[in-house]
Homo-oligomer: A and B are copies of this chain.
Amino acid sequence: MFESAEIGHRITKARYKREEPKLREALLEAQFDLLQKQDFPVLILVAGVDGAGKGETVNLFNEWMDPRHIRTEAFESGDGADSGRPRMWPFWRSLPRKGNIGMFFGSWYTQPISERANGRSKKSVFGQELERIRHFERMLAAEGVLLLKLWFHLSKDAQRKRLKKLGANPLMSWRVSSRDREHLRNYERYARISAETLRETSTGEAPWQIIDGSDPHYRALTAGQLLLDAMRRRLDGPAPTMSPPAPPPAPSLDGRDLLNSLDYRARIAPTRYEKQLEKAQARVAVLTRDKRIRDRSLVCVFEGMDAAGKGSTIRRLTRAMDARFYHVVPIAAPSDEERAQPYLWRFWRHLPRHGHATIFDRSWYGRVLVERVEGLCSEYDWMRGYHEINEFEEQMAESGTIVLKFWLSITAEEQLKRFREREKVAYKRHKITPEDWRNRKKWPKYERAVCDMIERTSTGHAPWHVVPANDKRFARVTVLQTLADALEAQL
């Protein structure tokens, strides 16, 4: 893997002085075009052996280009862990926005490699982590992120010489850390794990580029040229085409589906409702105040057709919880900061800390519901959405989050009844808009999208709870009971 990075690449100072200004100018121009287009972000992962020029390259890129549109992010291992969020959370939150360049010094590779190298993670776990990384990077590529992965290499011999030289200079000896010395001692092991990582994660969308780091001139020009080529190809070429999607799932031939085969007669008599609700609320109240929840968190997703009763159910739920515990996030149109990021970014930002809950009134499922039906994204985008969502929820579950998803299911007739009622009651009138009527016309399309969604995203760690909601009382009590059951089972 590192063979050609150890043959002693070298560029003379004279050649560097001749070529550097041209490269610099071209990079600046590319950066300017990127900024003008505001079409995609560039993300550079700077990884590799310590002392092989990672920091220097980051500084050089900042020097060559306009630093105001470069975001350099440095990550420490375990950045996300202490907050109780998924391991990838710090990276998710720090992605560069469209038109910008992000440089990640330390990335999602750091922790898997170092944990594998020091023996803290097993081979199988390591393999799973690399697979997850591949999926994540494919998602970034599909979202338009130009991902450049640079690996700076240094042979063991070169590394030893470097540390010796630095240590001898009193003005530079601060550069040598105990970690450097430890890495040198375990050089072979690190090299082996790194090589495996690079092989396993060099994909078509995001291949690794290995750079010999021993000569500053060589590595600077090489890294710069790689960045330039990647940016120019994307800026001047056609938009990237991702692999074609599998055909969308076909509707069932007999017309029966998850939703229309549901029993909508389920109801709770008004006389028994208050008592049952109070009982379920008391259970939720006790469980969400349980000490064991301090190391866990809760994410509840509410989806449903218009007028299915999401808002009123959420209110019954929140009333049972301490206001310090939960946070309701209603999903509306994205802001411009959100639009400049991958699709899931606007949900990542709302993930709860341990000991807290986020309740989403509509959610990331918009991708495979409204965006699919209304054609707001391409077929490929929503088709890949299922898998991306499953990975997202899996990561939440792994970090200790209890994920609950409710589909409040009403019939088309019930919706019509509720729409008419809303038009009549003055203070509910704002709740009904021409758009609601337009959406209603697409009921069969939505129904199909909902069934596909439930089938493809109901997972062990984050199952869908489809709740018949023609009777609001039944739906509310059922949601509260389901949540209480889940908390009891998981705590």
Say yes or no: B72 contacts A427, CB within 8 Å.
no
Closest approach, in angstroms, between the C-beta of A432 and any C-beta of chain B?
A: 12
Whether A324 contacts B67 by the Cβ 8 Å rule is: no
Please determine whether A278 and B171 come into contact, CB atoms closer than 8 angstroms: yes
Asked whether A465 is an interface residue with its Cβ less than 8 Å from the other chain, the reply is no
A323 to B71, CA, bound (A): 12
Cβ of A323 and Cβ of B58 under 8 Å apart? yes
* Contact A328 B361, CB 8 Å, known A282-B174, A315-B62, A337-B337: no
- Residues in B whose Cβ lies below 8 Å from that of A311: 66-68
Q: Among the listed B76, B325, B337, which residue makes an inter-chain contact with A336, where contact means beta carbons less than 8 Å apart?
A: B337
Quick check: B68 and A361 within 8 Å, CB to CB? yes
Q: Which residues of B contact A286 (CB under 8 A)?
A: 174
A14 within 8 A of B: no
User: Does the CB pair A322–B55 fall under 8 Å?
Assistant: yes
Which chain A residues numbered 20 to 49 have a C-beta less than 8 Å away from chain B? 21, 24-25, 28-29, 32
Q: How far is the CB of A43 from chain B (nearest CB, A)?
A: 16
Q: Are B74 and A324 within 8 A (Cβ)?
A: yes
Q: A68-B330, A426-B25, A427-B21 are in contact. Are A74 and B325 (CB under 8 A)?
A: yes
Q: Which of the residues B28, B279, B318, B427 comes within 8 Å of A62, measured between beta carbons?
A: B318
**Interface SS, A side:** helix
Interface flag for A273 (CB, 8 Å): no
Bound-state CA distance A327–B285 (Å) is 42
Among A297-341, those with CB < 8 Å from B are 311, 314-315, 318-319, 322-328, 330, 332, 335-337
A327 touches B67 (CB 8 A): no
Please measure, in the bound complex, the distance between the C-alpha atom of A314 and the C-alpha atom of B67, giving whole angstroms: 10
| Residue pair B174, A324 in contact (C-beta under 8 Å) | no
Q: Does A69 sit within 8 A of B, measured CB to CB?
A: yes
> Is the pair B282, A171 in contact by a Cβ cutoff of 8 Å?
yes
B323 engages A289 (CB within 8 Å):
no
Known A63-B315, A68-B361, A318-B59; contact A76-B426, beta-carbon cutoff 8 A: no
Chain B residue contacts of A69, Cβ below 8 A = 330
Q: A74-B326, A174-B282 are in contact. List 15 more A-B contacts (CB 8 A).
A: A28-B430, A54-B323, A59-B323, A63-B315, A68-B311, A69-B330, A72-B323, A76-B324, A105-B323, A171-B279, A172-B282, A174-B285, A174-B286, A175-B285, A335-B335
